[in-house]
């Protein structure tokens, strides 16, 4: 063992009684019985051991220390008279003969009690993260993270992938999020950028003749925080395959991920290969989402034709979507709460009615449906005890609202969801293009480097909004773990694809010079994907915030409170990189 210890604090057993041992760790607490007797908990990375000082001299040493000091204890192991079956070392205790203080804690009061750190304010936890990580419950998730990453690496290696690291300092590239920029000292006015993803580098590796690449890749995006997304940086299992199709990528992921989920997950059941494939348009119609939780048994149905002329104004001229739930027993208060949750999420109302024991339509918007009651019951195949929640609006809004209805009600009504498993699916056939909500112009829907279905002919002769791409998302329990695609490896097709969004050949050459030029030297067809490691581990641990599974996360405001980042720098540092700070004018409302 290291640090001259003979054992760690989770190692000693009854068979070690009578041995002279040396333990090191943190002085967690002391329960004083008398001036010459006490019970001390010594904690290290591995666990805890009870230390029992039985002399006044030993007691004075412990009483003179603040908890969380690090110490070395030399003494003899003996059997405990009051055994503790809640810990692995509960059959023994150590009687100290020598105590050495290795690192004194100079604060009598801690920011929080170590073993209850999760109850503290999050910003306090992050400021004192080194103390928070001493909590075994917090630390075990970081340990799990390490083991999961190790298993992912091993699985990828078994599949003949080479782990290759790609640059951290690179060029700014329009990949959908804000870059983190790094000013150049040697080239005034020019900047490096931290990579949003190793996208271009991994494609260039395929062009270089490497057949299978992966890495646990750091990615940097200047984005706002969400519960399932860390601001600043995140990690992904980045992979790419040469001479590969969409199905080749699926086969690898379907073999690599389920064993990891079954081994480490909160649930021990995970989908087996092949995962369900759902075209994007079908996902939006049936589930109201491109990341459906397939554990929820509810399906979205279109009832626009049936309900358009029922006299309820929000339905007139709109798309109407319905989610039917059988054996529904929730109270009116519970229904209202769920409808409120839908509204908060979507800014659109959820409407409802139900069928009572007499076969009558009651509740919610029932008064508008009485004239068509028989037709509604027949065409929707309703029976006593059924409940129907509805959304209305333009097609996409109605679909998305219905998707949230399905999720909210499905999670609250127990018989609608099979919770204790990991249900994977692939969402495929994403549109190549869409109309941007802000710009009103045609834009790439997903990854601009994806191969359009139909190739060059489709780009030249079809309506861009009807073209699908070989793009796919990996979804598990309603959480998008990754996007991937078969790549556009043909310069001619690439130029035509960008031309549709208003960028010419010279623009493509200027923005993606390495890829464009490399592809002109004969590039293989290739495809890849990059499941998010942080999001994956969050799903496995069942945590509601991604910050719980990151060793040193930023807070919601993208600040590292422990290190004081972002921070000001000296004028000399700014001069070195030719930067001058111009502070924004204060807003009127701030004055």
User: How does pLDDT run along the chain (591 residues), one tens digit per residue?
Assistant: 456 899 999 999 999 999 999 999 999 999 999 989 999 999 999 999 999 999 999 999 999 999 999 999 999 999 999 999 999 999 999 999 999 999 999 999 999 999 999 999 999 999 999 999 999 999 999 999 999 999 999 999 999 999 999 999 999 876 667 899 999 999 999 999 999 999 999 999 999 999 999 999 999 998 877 766 778 899 999 999 999 999 999 999 999 999 999 999 999 999 999 999 999 999 999 999 999 999 999 999 999 999 988 989 999 999 999 999 999 999 999 999 999 999 999 999 999 999 999 999 999 999 999 999 999 999 999 999 999 999 999 999 999 999 999 999 999 999 999 999 999 999 999 999 999 878 889 999 878 889 999 999 999 999 999 999 999 999 999 999 999 999 999 999 999 999 999 999 999 998 889 999 999 999 999 999 999 999 999 999 999 889 999 999 999 888 999 999 999 999 999 999 999 998 888 766 655
Return the pLDDT at 590: 59
Gyration radius of the chain over CA positions: 30
Return the pLDDT at 544: 85
**Domain topology for 137-272+529-550:** BirA Bifunctional Protein; domain 2 (3.30.930)
CA proximity to 477, closest of 294, 284, 261, 311: 294
Return the pLDDT at 89: 97
Q: Using CA of residue 518, residue 524, residue 529, residue 533, what is the dihedral sign?
A: negative
Joined tokens for residue 428: 């495929």
Joined tokens for residue 192: 């490096």
Axis-axis angle for helices 246-264, 533-541 (nearest 10):
40
* Coil vs helix vs strand at 41: strand
Return the pLDDT at 1: 43
The partner residues of 32 in beta bridges, in order of sequence, read 38
Location of each CATH 3.30.930.10 domain in the chain? 137-272+529-550
Joined tokens for residue 276: 């369900």
Joined tokens for residue 451: 């191969």
Instruction: Give the integer Cα–Cα distance in Å for 248 and 497.
Output: 24
CA proximity to 48, closest of 22, 10, 14: 10
**Domain topology for 296-417:** Gyrase A; domain 2 (3.30.1360)
Q: Give backbone dihedrals phi and psi of 33, rounded to 5 degrees, phi first.
A: -100, -45
User: C-alpha angle with apex 444: 443 to 448, nearest 5 degrees?
Assistant: 140
Q: Who contacts 280 (Cβ-Cβ below 8 Å, separation ≥6)?
A: 290, 427, 428, 429, 430, 431, 468
Q: Who contacts 89 (Cβ-Cβ below 8 Å, separation ≥6)?
A: 9, 10, 11, 12, 13, 47, 48, 49, 50
Express each pLDDT in 356-397 by its tens digit.
Answer: 999 999 999 999 999 999 999 999 999 999 999 999 999 999
Express each pLDDT in 427-448 by its tens digit.
Answer: 999 999 999 878 889 999 878 8
CA proximity to 537, closest of 273, 254, 270, 264: 264
Q: Give the chain's end-to-end CA distance (angstroms, integer).
A: 62
CA proximity to 291, closest of 545, 473, 539: 473
- Which CATH number describes the domain made up of 14-103? 2.40.50.140
Location of each CATH 3.30.1360.30 domain in the chain? 296-417
* Coil vs helix vs strand at 450: strand
Supply the DSSP symbol for 67: T
Location of each CATH 2.40.50.140 domain in the chain? 14-103
Joined tokens for residue 284: 């939006």
């Amino acid at each position: 063992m290291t640090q001259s210890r003979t054992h760690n604090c989770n190692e000693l057993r009854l068979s070690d009684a009578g041995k002279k041992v040396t333990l090191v760790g943190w002085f967690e607490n002391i329960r004083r019985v008398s001036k010459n007797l006490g019970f001390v908990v010594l904690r290290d990375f591995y666990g805890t051991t009870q230390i029992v000082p039985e002399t006044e001299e030993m007691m004075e040493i412990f009483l003179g220390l603040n908890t969380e000091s690090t110490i070395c204890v030399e003494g003899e192991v003996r059997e405990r008279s009051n055994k503790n079956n809640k810990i692995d070392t509960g059959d023994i205790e150590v009687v100290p003969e020598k105590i050495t203080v290795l690192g004194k804690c100079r604060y009598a009061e801690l920011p929080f009690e170590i073993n209850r750190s999760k109850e503290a304010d999050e910003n306090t936890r992050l400021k004192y993260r080194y103390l928070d990580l001493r909590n075994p419950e917090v630390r075990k998730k970081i340990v799990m993270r390490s083991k999961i990453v190790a298993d992912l690496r091993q699985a990828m290696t078994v599949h003949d992938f080479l782990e290759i690291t790609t640059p951290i300092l690179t060029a700014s590239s329009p990949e959908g999020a804000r870059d983190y920029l790094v000013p150049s000292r040697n080239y005034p006015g020019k900047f490096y950028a931290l990579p949003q993803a190793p996208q271009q580098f991994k494609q260039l590796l395929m062009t270089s003749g490497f057949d299978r690449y992966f890495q646990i890749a750091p990615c940097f995006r200047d984005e706002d925080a969400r519960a399932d997304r860390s601001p600043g940086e995140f990690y992904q299992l980045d992979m790419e395959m040469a001479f590969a199709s969409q199905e080749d990528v699926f086969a690898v992921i379907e073999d690599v991920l389920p064993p990891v989920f079954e081994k480490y997950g909160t649930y021990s059941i995970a989908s087996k290969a092949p995962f369900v494939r759902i075209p994007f348009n079908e996902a939006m119609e049936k589930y109201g989402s491109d990341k459906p939780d397939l554990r929820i048994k509810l399906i979205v149905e279109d009832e626009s034709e049936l309900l358009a002329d029922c006299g309820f104004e929000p339905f007139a001229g709109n798309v109407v979507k319905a989610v039917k739930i059988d054996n529904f027993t929730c109270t009116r208060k519970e229904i209202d709460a769920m409808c409120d949750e839908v509204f908060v999420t979507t800014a659109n109302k959820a409407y409802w009615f139900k069928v009572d024991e007499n076969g009558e339509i009651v509740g919610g918007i029932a008064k508008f449906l009485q004239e068509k009651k028989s037709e509604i019951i027949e065409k929707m195949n309703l029976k006593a005890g059924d409940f129907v929640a509805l959304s209305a609006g333009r097609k996409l809004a109605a679909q998305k609202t219905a998707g949230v209805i399905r999720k909210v009600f499905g999670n609250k009504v127990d018989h609608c969801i099979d919770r204790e498993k990991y249900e994977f699916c692939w969402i495929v056939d994403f549109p190549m293009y869409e109309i941007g909500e802000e710009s009103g112009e045609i834009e790439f829907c997903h990854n601009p480097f994806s191969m359009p279905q139909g190739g060059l002919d489709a780009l030249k002769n079809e309506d861009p909004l009807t073209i699908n791409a070989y793009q796919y998302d990996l979804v598990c329990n309603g959480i998008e773990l990754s996007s991937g695609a078969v790549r556009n490896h043909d310069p001619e097709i690439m130029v035509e694809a960008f031309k549709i969004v208003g960028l010419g050949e010279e623009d493509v050459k200027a923005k993606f010079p390495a890829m464009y030029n490399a592809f002109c030297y004969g590039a293989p067809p290739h495809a890849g994907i990059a499941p998010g490691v942080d999001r994956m581990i969050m799903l496995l641990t069942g945590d509601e915030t991604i910050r719980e599974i990151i060793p040193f996360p930023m807070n919601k405001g993208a600040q590292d409170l422990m290190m004081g980042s972002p921070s000001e720098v000296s004028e000399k540092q700014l001069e070195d990189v030719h930067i001058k700070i111009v502070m924004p004018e204060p807003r009127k409302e701030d004055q």
